[in-house]
Amino acid sequence: MKKIEAIIKPFKLDDVKEALNEIGIQGMTISEVKGYGRQKGHKEIYRGAEYVVDFIPKIKIEIVVDAQQADTVVEKIRDAANTGKIGDGKIFVFSVEEAIRVRTGETGNDAI
Amino acid sequence: MNMDTNYLQISNALKQDREKLIASFDDFPVIEFMRRHSRILDTYFQQSFEESLVGPRLGLNKNPYAIIALGGYGRGEQCVHSDVDILFLFKKRIPKEAVSLIQEIIYPLWDIGLEVGYATRTLNECIDLARQDYEILTPILDARFICGMSILFSELMSATRDKILNRRSKKIVAWLVKSNTERHLHFGDSTYLLEPNLKEGQGGLRDYHTMLWIGRIMLNIRQARDLEYFGYLSHDEYLAVTEALSFIWGVRNKLHLATGRKVDQLYFENQIKLAKSMNFSTANGLQPVEKFLGTLHSKMDYMKQRHLVFLNEHGFVYKPRARRKRKIASAYDNIVIANDMLEFSSSEDILKSPEQLIHIFEESARLKLPLTTQAKRMVAEFSYLVDERFRTSNSVVNSFEFILREPAPAFNVLREMLNTGFLVRMIPELKGIVNRIQYDQYHLYPVDKHLLRTVQTIKNFGSDRDDSGCILCANIWKGLKNRKLLLWAALLHDIGKGVPEKGHSRRGADIGRGILARFGYNTADIDTIAFLIQEHLLLVKIATRRDIHDEETAIHCARIIKKISRLQMLYLLTVADSTSTGPNAWNDWTATLLRDLFLKISNILQKGELATQQAVKTSAHKKEVVLASASSKSEATELEKLFQYMSPRYLLYMPDHEILNDIKLFRRLDDRAFVWDVNGGKAANSRTVRICAQDQPGLFSKIAGTFTLNGIDILNGQIFTWRNNLALDIFHVKPPPDRLFEKDRWQRAEKDLHKALAGDLDLAKALADKVKGYGSIRPKASKLPHNIVVDNHSSSFFTIIEVFTYDFPGLLFTVTDALFKSGLDIWVAKISTNVDQVVDVFYVRDFDGQKVDSEDQAAAIKTAIEERLPEIV
**Chains A–B, number of C-beta pairs less than 8 Å apart:** 58
pLDDT band at B322 (very low <50, low <70, confident <90, very high): very low
Tens of pLDDT, residues B469-525: 788 999 999 999 999 999 999 999 999 988 877 889 999 999 999 999 999 999 999
**Does the beta carbon of B478 lie under 8 angstroms from any beta carbon of chain A?**
no
CA distance B465 to B462: 8
Q: How far is CA B113 from the centre of its chain?
A: 44
Q: In 3D, which of B208, B224, B228, B204 has the Cα closest to residue B216?
A: B224
Position with higher pLDDT, B826 vs B63? B826
Distance CA B534, CA B489 (A): 9
Q: What is the pTM of this model?
A: 0.71
Name the closest residue on chain A to residue B543, using Cα atoms: A11
Residue numbers in B near A11 (CB within 8 A): 544-548
Q: What pLDDT digit, counting tens, does each position of B424-460 carry?
A: 999 999 988 887 777 666 666 788 889 999 999 999 9
In A, which residues are within 8 Å of B544 by CB distance? 10-11
Backbone angle region of B824, left / alpha / beta, with phi > 0 → left and psi within -120 to 50 → alpha? beta
H or E segment at B344?
strand B341-344
pLDDT of residue B427: 95
Q: Please list the helix, strand and coil fractions of chain B in percent, rounded to the nearest 5, in that order.
A: 60, 10, 30
Closest to A28 (Cα-Cα) out of A59, A58, A62: A62
pLDDT, mean over chain B: 86
State the pairing for strand pair B776-777/B871-872: parallel
Q: What is the structure's pLDDT at B782?
A: 59
Contact A44 B546 (CB under 8 A): no
Nearest C-alpha in B relative to A48: B793
Q: Do A53 and B596 touch (CB under 8 A)?
A: yes
Query: B77: pLDDT confidence band, cut at 50, 70 and 90?
Result: very high
Which run of H or of E encompasses B751? Answer: helix B742-758
List of chain B residues whose C-beta atoms are within 8 Å of the C-beta of residue A55: 592
Share of chain B above pLDDT 70, in %: 93
Asked whether the predicted pLDDT for residue B106 surpasses 50, the reply is yes
Record: contact B475-A49, CB cut-off 8 A:
yes
Q: Across-strand partners of B88? A: B67, B120
> Which chain A residue has the Cα nearest residue B593?
A57
Q: How many angstroms separate the CA of residue B545 from the nearest CA in chain A?
A: 4
Give the nearest partner residue to A32 out of B589, B599, B848, using CB atoms.
B589
Q: Which string of b and e fits B462-475 if b means at least 16 CB within 10 Å? A: beeebebebebbbb
Helix residue ranges per DSSP H, B548-655: 551-561, 564-579, 588-607, 613-628, 633-645, 648-653
Q: Which of B545, B602, B848 sits opposite A11 (nearest CB)?
A: B545
Enumerate residues 6+ apart whose C-beta is below 8 A from B183.
Answer: B200, B206
For residues B104 and B51, give the distance between their C-alpha atoms in angstroms, rounded to a whole number.
Answer: 10
Taking a contact as any Cβ pair under 8 Å apart, which residues of chain B between 533 and 592 contact chain A?
Answer: 544-550, 587-590, 592
Dist. CA B765–CA A52, nearest whole Å? 42
Q: Over range B65-72, report the average pLDDT.
A: 92
Interface of A with B (CB under 8 A): 9-11, 14, 32-34, 38-40, 42-47, 49, 51, 53, 55, 57, 83, 85-87
- Chain B nearest C-alpha distance from A1 (Å): 31
What is the pLDDT confidence band of residue B320, given thresholds at 50, 70 and 90? very low
**Residue in A with minimal Cα distance to B854:** A42
User: What pLDDT does B321 receive?
Assistant: 45
> How close is the nearest chain A Cα to the Cα of B848, in Å?
6
Q: Over 50: is that where the pLDDT of B527 sits?
A: yes
**Spatial CB neighbours of B606, under 8 Å, sequence gap ≥ 6:** B564
Where b means 16+ CB within 10 Å and e means fewer, B165-188 reads beeeeeebbebbbebbbebbeebb
B620, amino acid identity: A
Is-contact B562 B556, C-beta < 8 A?
no
Q: Which of B471, B480, B547, B851 would best serve as a mutation to test chain A binding (most A beta carbons within 10 A)? A: B547
CB B303 within 8 A of CB B241: yes
Phi, psi of B186 (to 5 degrees): -75, -45
- Shortest alpha-carbon distance between residue B500 and chain A (Å): 26
Q: How far is B427 from B390, CA to CA, in rounded Å?
A: 11
What is the percentage of chain B residues whose pLDDT exceeds 90? 38
pLDDT of residue B564: 92
B793–A contact, CB cutoff 8 A = yes
Query: To the nearest whole angstrom, how far is the Cα of B635 from the nearest Cα of chain A?
Result: 27
CA of A66, closest CA in chain B: separation in Å? 30
For testing contact with chain B, the best of A51, A58, A59, A83 (most B CBs within 10 A): A51
Q: B785 or B296: which carries more pLDDT confidence?
A: B296
Helix (H) / strand (E) containing B60: none
User: Residue B26 has what DSSP assignment?
Assistant: G
Whether B497 and B440 have beta carbons less than 8 Å apart is answered as no
CA–CA separation, B523 vs B284, rounded Å? 34
Distances (CA, A) of A90 to A61, A69, B729: 11, 18, 35
Could you tell me which chain A residue has the CA closest to the CA of B600? A44
HSE (side-chain half, CA atoms, 13 Å) at B38: 24
pLDDT in tens, B689-737: 999 999 888 899 999 999 888 888 888 888 888 888 889 988 888 887 7
pLDDT in tens, B225-260: 888 888 778 888 889 899 999 999 999 999 999 988
In contact, B749 and B708? CB cutoff 8 Å? no
Closest C-alpha to B599, from B523, B543, B638: B543
**Chain B residues inside the 8 Å CB shell of A47:** 475, 479
**Residue B30: per-residue pLDDT:** 93
* CB atoms closer than 10 angstroms to residue B395: 11
Measured between alpha carbons, how far is B78 from B88 in angstroms, rounded to an integer?
19
- Taking CB atoms and an 8 Å limit, are A46 and B472 in contact across chains? yes
Q: What is the C-alpha separation between B726 and B666, in angstroms, rounded? A: 9
In the chain, the amino acid numbered A47 is: R
Name which of B593, B793, B853 is nearest A10 (Cβ-Cβ).
B593
ipTM of the complex: 0.86
Q: Do A51 and B595 touch (CB under 8 A)?
A: yes
Distance of alpha carbon B476 from its chain centroid, rounded? 17
Contact between residue A59 and residue A32 where contact means Cβ atoms under 8 Å apart: yes
Question: Do the bridges between strand B116-122 and strand B84-90 make them parallel or antiparallel, or are there none, so unpaired?
Answer: parallel
Max Cα-Cα span within chain B: 138
**CB burial of residue B477 (10 Å; 0-12, 13-18, 19+):** buried
**Across residues B731-747, what is the average pLDDT?**
82
Angle in degrees, 0-180, between the axes of helices B394-405 and B356-367, rounded to the nearest 10: 30
Give the tens place of pLDDT for each residue, B295-312.
888 889 889 888 887 887
**What whole-number distance in Å separates Cα of residue B816 and Cα of residue B807?**
14
As a whole number of angstroms, the distance between CA B435 and CA B445 comes to 9
* SS3 category, B442: coil
Chain A contact set for B472 (CB, 8 A):
46, 49, 51
Task: Quote helix, strand, coil % in chain A, to nearest 5.
Answer: 30, 40, 35
Closest residue by Cα to residue B866 from B764, B785, B766, B770: B785
The shortest CB-CB distance from B793 to any of A9, A45, A53 is to: A45
Tens of pLDDT, residues A13-56 = 999 999 999 999 988 999 999 998 888 778 787 877 888 888 99
Torsion of CA B864, B866, B869, B872, to 10 degrees: -170
Residue among A32, A38, A43 whose CB faces B853 most closely? A43
Q: Which residue on chain B is closest to A14 by alpha carbon?
A: B545
For residue A98, the distance in angstroms to the closest alpha carbon of chain B comes to: 31
Predicted local distance difference test score (pLDDT) of residue B772: 62
- Tell me, what's the pLDDT at B773? 57
| Residue B312: alpha-carbon gap to chain centroid | 32
Q: Are B770 and B810 in contact (CB under 8 A)?
A: yes
Cα–Cα distance measured from residue B471 to residue B69, given in angstroms and rounded to the nearest whole number: 55
Whether residues A85 and B549 touch (CB distance < 8 A) is answered with yes
**Neighbouring residues of B497: CB distance < 8 A, sequence distance ≥ 6:** B432, B433, B436, B438, B447, B504, B508
Are residues A42 and B851, on separate chains, in Cβ contact within 8 Å?
yes
- Disruptive mutation site among B539, B550, B571, B589 for chain A (greatest number of A CBs within 10 Å): B589
Question: How far does the CA of residue B34 sit from the closest CA of chain A (Å)?
Answer: 37
Q: What pLDDT, on a 0 to 100 scale, did the predictor assign at position B5? A: 65
Whether B584 has a pLDDT exceeding 60, the answer reads yes
* Closest partner CB to A11 (pick from B479, B546, B848): B546
Q: How far is B759 from chain A (nearest CA, A)?
A: 25
Name which of A44, A59, A85 to mutate to probe chain B: the one with the most chain B Cβ atoms within 10 A of its Cβ: A44
Which strands sit side by side in the sheet containing B84-90, from one edge to the other?
B116-122, B84-90, B65-69, B144-148
Closest Cβ–Cβ partner in A45, A57, A87 for B593: A57
| CB contact B603 to A (< 8 Å) | yes
Q: Is the pLDDT of residue B53 over 90?
A: no
Q: Indicate yes or no: CB of B545 within 8 angstroms of CB of A39.
A: no
pLDDT band at B113 (very low <50, low <70, confident <90, very high): confident
pLDDT at residue B409, as a whole number: 66
Sign of CA dihedral B700, B704, B710, B714: positive
What is the residue-wise DSSP string for B94-160?
--TTHHHHHHHHHHHHHHTT--EEEEEEEHHHHHHHHHH-HHHHHHHHT-EEEEE-HHHHHHHHHHI
Q: How far is A68 from chain B (nearest CA, A)?
A: 32
Nearest CA in chain B to A40: B850
> E strands within B279-321?
none
Q: Which of B593, B603, B850 faces A40 most closely, judged by CB atoms? A: B850
CB B667 within 8 A of CB B629: no
